[in-house]
Chain A
Amino acid sequence: MQSIDFPMHRHAPGEEVDYVIIGVGSAGGVLLQRLARAGFKVLGMEAGPFWDTERDWVSDEAGSHQLYWEDKRVTGGKNPLALGANNCGKGVGGGSVHWAAFTPRFHPSDFEVYTRDGVGVDWPMSYWDLKPYYELLELEMPVAGPAYYPWGDPHGYAFGPHPMGGVGNTLVRGCTNLGIGVSIGGPVAILSGSRGNRPHCIYRGFCIQGCKVGAKASTLVTHVPDALENGAEIRDRCMVSRIHHDTRSNRVTGISYIDRDGKECFQKAKAVIVSGYAIETPRLLLNSACAGYENGLANSSGTVGKYLMAQIGNVILGRFDEPVRMYKAPPAHALTEEFYETDPKRDFARGFAIQTVGPLPIAFAKQMMVARGNWGWGMRRIMMDYNHWSSFGLLGEILPWADNRVTLSHETDQFGLKVADVSFNLHENDEKLREFGRNKTEEVMRAAGAKEVVQEARFAHLVGAARMGSDPTSSVVDCYGRTHDIANLFVCDGSILPTQGSANPGLTIQALAARTADYLISQGTVIFNSDRRDMTPPPVRPELSPPGTHGVGVPRVANLASR
């Protein structure tokens, strides 16, 4: 349920805007809201539609394909990634419309894996730089979860945890029998009680088909309404084809896009922010190659498209004698991060989480096709047992590798633009981590009482491919998302993550967007008029939170954690 009952501001044809944001998803929605609230003239470009959720969305698995980015792409390498419904959104709200909404923070260790473990790369910022924004976004979404969350930087959640579903029951039982700590009822960005004009969760289990209820957070319901109320414009069903660059000044001047009627248009902007996520962002930069940037805009380092990451996402399924009915309750409602950190007793760096998932029938059938090789009568038989199965998602950290990358294919899409060619290979550490994590997760499933345990290897999420760093020769953007090459071109979305931990990335992406917004606001008009790079950290601006979110509730242990 999403209702916006006021007219949207429309910039005049030919009118220059301060910021054009390409992609109104997890990051784009937050940026748009804050920049509008701070008084900038902002325009969000979105390739997909502006949803009317009651009219456009359905409580139906096969009928929800419109939520996913299903345009042409090629996927290859030794371990090809599934894209589309697996990790790519289209439409206002982007991936936050169809995420399962697990919202764990990254751990402090995630920001310095090179220093600690000699793998990957350090972030150009620390956990403590991002922490204030985690706290803001956890209230803005808001996140429901336990009052005490023990892992990483221990903290608590202001909004109460959700009741357990059948899958959570099995995870708690399995973990408890093995002496593994487990968090129940969150952290997940789903309302456990109604708030403002958003109702509470009704436990229908269709989270990744879009929350028609409005209980699950997406920027469509959390940030876009406030952005529009503050004068932002969103042009939906407009595909940005190119960012324009002026060679003489080395500044970007605006964008070209194909509007909903198929007409090519130009939009002038004082600065451009690319928020297209880990495939469309590098694709657009590469497709915007021009004089001075023949290998792709802002790509003097050659790293645009490189260091793409997905997470190990094996699904471990267990059959129980008693019914589970895993289609009820949000798929995301319990997890353990007991194995998150590097353990010197293991023969690999970094770690993993174990989380509840709740495949609906079609997803479950596809899993059984892989996990048990089912077809024919075997498929009919196993599906008749659907209600006896529970499923856990292994979420494991894959390190950044230069050969995991997005390049341009020679094939073109419906607009004549070159499509992304995605190549992905697991490396030794990734494979060891996957094997260990899979075995541990299967052990938990057996300890829960499952008689048969099978698994499907797959991947979850996408980040990287335009990474941030302090060194302009090995990264694309600085710690505020500004490209090293061009002073008024920014990237802000999952693609800037240098490493990814084994936490779901949505919360971190939105927290980074809020921090980038604070930086841009602090810089005022400097970004529009000069190439000066002021790296002074901006003050945190809680007054920019959507109304009625900041200071609500009491995260009881948020400030107890020692640094």
Chain B
Amino acid sequence: MSSTSSGRDSVDRRPYDAKSGAPLPQREQPGYYPGFSTLGQKRFWDEATRQKVLDRVHNVPPIRFFLPAEVALLETVVAHLLPQDDRMPSRRIPIVPTIDKRLHEGRTPGYRFAKMPPDGDAYRIGLSAIEHMAKKSYGRAFGELTWREQDELLKSIHDAKPKPGAESVWEKMPIHRFWALLMQDCVEVYYAHPWAWDEIGFGGPAYPRGYMRLEHGEPEPWEVDERRYEWEASRDSVSDPSENEIASHDGHPPAGQGGTH
């Protein structure tokens, strides 16, 4: 995973300890479940699942859809959408190659919103819109902006109040759908990875063994109890708003897309 732009030490981009104010050390495994390893349980998984998950960990797909300049820009954008500066570089989860694979193979979620272009086109149009916004608002390429400027530009897309420079694009392509496309693809890749499961304490594949402690959030014998620590997002980031800002979130896009019932 390439580190990004702005020529600044990534220590500034790390979350910091809420009490001491010191940057958090980069960890092999951030999160509140130190020592928990889903991959450590892989001998209890069925063969098909084991192959699928290990392939995900060991075989990062080659870039075939995006052009090199698009890859560089998308890597920077994704580093804001799902920052991993608290992870040791060797334990960061590659996201862009898997998005590229989906687009290369032409896989869709089974529908396209009537006002949206096909996903691949939406990426290309959206990435070029981001460049235009950077030029118009800051007079520089997106990759030349400071980390905070990049974060603020992306937040303006999140808020559906885009900084100037790409008005004609957003007239044609609903901005909240473009944001959802990006964000959904990012979480679909990151939270499919066993390192992310370890981070959040999710048990991972569970066939044929299953679970036996169903109530009160109790861990299985091979799971671990939570050990929380307090942390604040990087001071250069605007992506971790206060509870008040969350409470006033008005919930666009208007409908979710997952399948839960």
Contact = CB atoms under 8 A, between A and B. Distances in A.
A556 interface: no
Interface in A406-455: 421-423, 452, 454-455
Interface in B192-241: 192, 196-197, 199-203, 205-219, 226, 231, 233-234, 237-241
Interface in A472-506: 504
Given A375-B158, A380-B83, A203 B48 contact: no
Q: How large is the interface on A (under 10, 10 to 19, 20 to 34, 35 or more residues)?
A: 35 or more
B82 interface: yes
B40 interface: no
Nearest to B232: A377
Interface string A42-83: 000000000000111111111101001111111111011111
Given A79-B254, A206-B206, A391-B260, A372 B215 contact: no
Contacts of B243: 452
16 contacts: A58-B53, A61-B192, A75-B111, A86-B258, A202-B206, A323-B217, A328-B211, A363-B258, A363-B260, A369-B184, A377-B15, A379-B82, A386-B201, A393-B260, A456-B251, A457-B254
A379 B249 CA distance: 14
B49 A362 contact: no
B261 A331 contact: yes
B191 interface: yes
Nearest to B179: A375
B28 interface: no
Pick the most buried of B110, B113, B208, B253: most chain A CB atoms within 10 A of its CB: B110
Where chain B touches its partner, the secondary structure class is loop
Contacts of B256: 82, 315, 366-367, 370-371, 456-458
A512 interface: no
B109 A58 contact: no
B202 A386 contact: yes
A365 interface: yes
Given A58-B48, A63-B52, A331-B260, A79 B255 contact: yes
Contact of A373 (B108, B205, B238, B249): B249
A327 interface: yes
Q: How large is the interface on B (under 10, 10 to 19, 20 to 34, 35 or more residues)?
A: 35 or more
A383 B191 contact: yes
Contacts of B218: 323, 325
B237 A384 contact: no
Contacts of B259: 68, 82, 84-87, 98, 208, 363
Interface of A: 54-63, 65, 68-77, 79-88, 98, 100, 102, 163-166, 169, 201-206, 208, 212-213, 313, 315, 322-325, 327-329, 331-332, 355, 357-363, 365-367, 369-373, 375-381, 383-384, 386-388, 391, 393, 395, 421-423, 452, 454-460, 504
Contacts of B53: 58, 60, 63
Nearest to A455: B251
Contact of A62 (B109, B188, B215): B188
A85 B49 CA distance: 19
A80 B114 contact: yes
B226 A60 contact: no
Contact of B48 (A57, A76, A455, A460): A57
A376 B107 contact: no
Given A375-B183, A460-B261, A387 B201 contact: yes
Contact of B211 (A204, A370, A371): A204
A202 B201 contact: no
